[in-house]
Structure formats: structure tokens, C-alpha cells
Structure 1
């Protein structure tokens, strides 16, 4: 399947959808306090997205029940909103998707709830720093597998490991599209499709501590590492414009 090349007007629409994601994540990060439930956080995110004219695209996607993936502590991705209460010292992953005028936005952060441990600060910094390092490394003509290797090398050099079996992805008029962009290399970096101007995709380093082997919890959504330790996840939506990576999901 070919990777879509987006026209400037399409990238502008994707940026509008993405900016709402960024604003929603910023709003939640500034608002969430110990004692809130995941359902309350989900409702706040849903209302904020709708107030800004977009639709929360995760709601009902593949059967997901919430509008915001709320992933607490050990949960790396796809945490389902429930009546679980976040408390001081927790870390919370927030992953949000929007749909606006037929185009999608998607980004994620992991945040501390109140004061968190130095170990968790380092864990969150790894996923965030890996994301921005990879974005800064993007060049037209490089292969997506080279980008994957950059992500993996950064994560492992910090002493962590990438979650396996889940990946970044293309995005446009579908929430998930070609290509798949893992955070770990399979094969050789000089194989596979090359990055071109007009491509739009999401990078999302998912970082575990000792094992990258995923375990799916009973809710059939929440993914943890088999080591059952805390994890972290960051994501931005990127467009390649005039040879450079442009972040579409900043507030």
C-alpha cells in the first residue's frame, strides 16, 4: 500500500485537527489534580475537544469506550477511562485523537500527578526526549527504518527498552494509515520506504524499564510490560514540508 502524499491544503486541515489535540493535552495537564477519576478526566477532554469544533476520534474507534486513553503507572497505552482515582505520585498517560473536516489529529503525553519520583521523571523524559530527537533527525530521503533505529538507539542508550508489537503510524483521512513506524528495528535500516515531502505520520515512543514484551489486560485494551513496572508514552503528529519535519500537534 502506498504512503499518501498530502497537498498543502490537506496539511493545513491536519494541522487544525492537530492543534486541538495539543490544546486539549495542555488543558488537561494544567487541570488534572490528585483525587480526580479517569472518567472525570475523560469527560473534561471530550468536552474541550467538542468546544473547539472537533469530534473526539477515539470514541467508539474499534470499540473503545472513552474519548481519551488514560494510562496510569504500569499501563503504557490504551488505558480505558474508569472510576479509578489518580493520586499524588502517579504518572498518567493521556492519548487524544480528533477529527475535523474529515482529517485526523493524534498526540500523547505522560505527566506526573503532583510530585513524582526521580525514577519516573527519568522515564517520562526518555519518551519525550526520544520523540523530539527523532523529529529533529528527520530528513527527506531517509528511510522510515532509519527513523525507527534512531528511536530505539535513543531509548536503549538511556537504559530503557521500547514496547514491542505497537508502533507509530501514518495519519490523514483515516486515524491509522501506512506506514507502521515501530520503536525497535526489525531487519536492516537501509530497507523499506523513504520519507518524502508531503508525508504525515505519528511518532510515538513507548518506553518500558526492563522488558518490552507487552501484556494485554483483562479489559482487552490496556497494555503493560511483562515486568509490571511503570511505563511512559509520548506522541506527536508530523508533516514533512520543504524537507523538514513540522509538528502539527503543538498547542
Structure 2
């Protein structure tokens, strides 16, 4: 189901998204070699709770943590663990916040110390593809316009797009319609109408596009174990504009790609 939001409801999602953005920023301060990924999860969980909100992911279909933490070849849905980050790793941190009845959702992939130049280029291209998608997320356009923009941008640069996992609508539920793929054709798919709130989230691989699900039932990694990057924003469609409700501002005060 696609649920269109009122301006008042979008304002509540924006409030949720501000807490989320600041939680990401708090975690960003600690993303460095030597920290355990479970410690990053605890930082986020405590920050969100201290601001009167709840972590959207914890307990969702049995997911055990506040953050999805995906290192190196893990695309998405990785568990926080005893793993200590190492110089040269990349780490995708995906988080959702539930506040005043509404969810927000965003993700960012970080370099840890010095990473190979080809991996850094992957991170930059994936992040740029998110904004290419957002440029096409305009009233009257279609989901396919967003999807094509992401796919075209990264494939022109030699990367591959994960096809089995998609962005989504969100609001009172963490996952609502429509699905927002990162590949597709212009002019296809549901129309972007006023009041639509969607999470756009490119997942882009350095190697082949194929993925594997690990035995834990959650963790998704690249089949060839090449690095994967993931960036995400929650956006709202108005007749005269598109607003990015989530923010990477607090991350980027700490981390420079």
C-alpha cells in the first residue's frame, strides 16, 4: 500500500529524521580502527533513547540491533558484533528512528583510515548516485526515473547495482509502498504524487552485482566478496519541490569523503 502524507505528518517525519541525523553524527565520531561494531550500536541505541525516540530496526522481524552494520563485502543487514574495525575497512551504517508515530531511515558508508583508491572511488560514486536519484524524485515523475538515474550513473563508471534489494516508502510503517529499485527505465513505475515519502538507497558493488544471504537469515554480502557501498536518504514529494528529510550534515562535520 502507498500512503500519502499530509504536511503535518511530513513535519513529524522530519522531526524523527533530525534525531536520526544527530544519532548518525554521534556514531560517526567513533568510527575508527579498534572500535567494536557492537560499541557503535550501543552509542546509537543510547542516543536515540535519550531523545525520547525508538530504534526502528531493533526487533523488526526479529532483527537484534539498533544499527545494521555492514563491513567491506557486506551489502546490508549486517549484525553489530565483537568485530574490531581495521584500517582499510569500509563500514555501512544504516539506522531508523521511530518518533511521534513516524519512521525515518538513512544510511552512510564510511572509510576507516586509509582505504584503497578504487574503494574510495566506489564510495564517492555511490553517494553521488543517491543525489542523482533525488534530482529525479520530483512531482509528476515516476519511480523508474529515479531508478534509471541511479543505475545509469554508477554503471557508466563501471560499478554494478544490487537488484534484489530496494528502497521503499515509509511513514507509520518502516516499509510501505512503493518499492524504489536502483535500476529501471525512465517513465515506468508508480507516479510520484504529492505527499509521497520514500527512502532512496543505492547499494552498489565494486565487482559483480550478485549477492548471497548468510546463514543468519539477515546478512547480505557480495557473491565475489568485493566491496559494496550503501547511502540512503528519506525524501518527501511536494508539488513544487522535493525535500530531503534526513541529513548527513552531522556525519560530514566529522567525516570527509
Give me the whole-angstrom Cα distance separating, in 1, the residues matched to 2:133 and 2:181: 12
CA distance in 2, matches of 1:238, 1:33: 29
Whole-angstrom distance in 2 between the partners of 1:135 and 1:113:
27
C-alpha distance in 1, partners of 2:46/2:85?
A: 20
CA displacement, residues 17-36 of structure 1 (integer Å, 9 cap, x when unaligned): 11111111122112222111
Aligned length: 248
Matches within 5 A, 1:104-123: 104-123=103-122
Q: Which runs of 5+ in 1 are unaligned?
A: none
2:26–2:43 contact (8 Å) kept in structure 1: no
1:210 is matched with which residue? 207
Q: Distance in 2 between matches of 1:172 and 1:31?
A: 29
Q: Secondary structure at the match of 1:124?
A: helix
1:248 paired residue number: 245
Shift of 1:164: 1.7
TM-score of the superposition, structure 2-length normalised?
A: 0.93
Q: 1:154 matched to which residue of 2?
A: 153
Quote the residue 1:198 is aligned against.
195
TM-score if structure 1 supplies the norm length?
A: 0.95
Structure 1 vs Structure 2 CA RMSD: 1.2
Q: Give how far 1:172 is off.
A: 0.3
Q: How far apart, CA to CA, are the structure 2 residues paired with 1:235 and 1:172?
A: 15
Q: Structure 1 CA distance, aligned partners of 2:240 and 2:60?
A: 33
Aligned equivalents of 1:154 and 1:25: distance in 2?
26
Shift of 1:51: 1.4
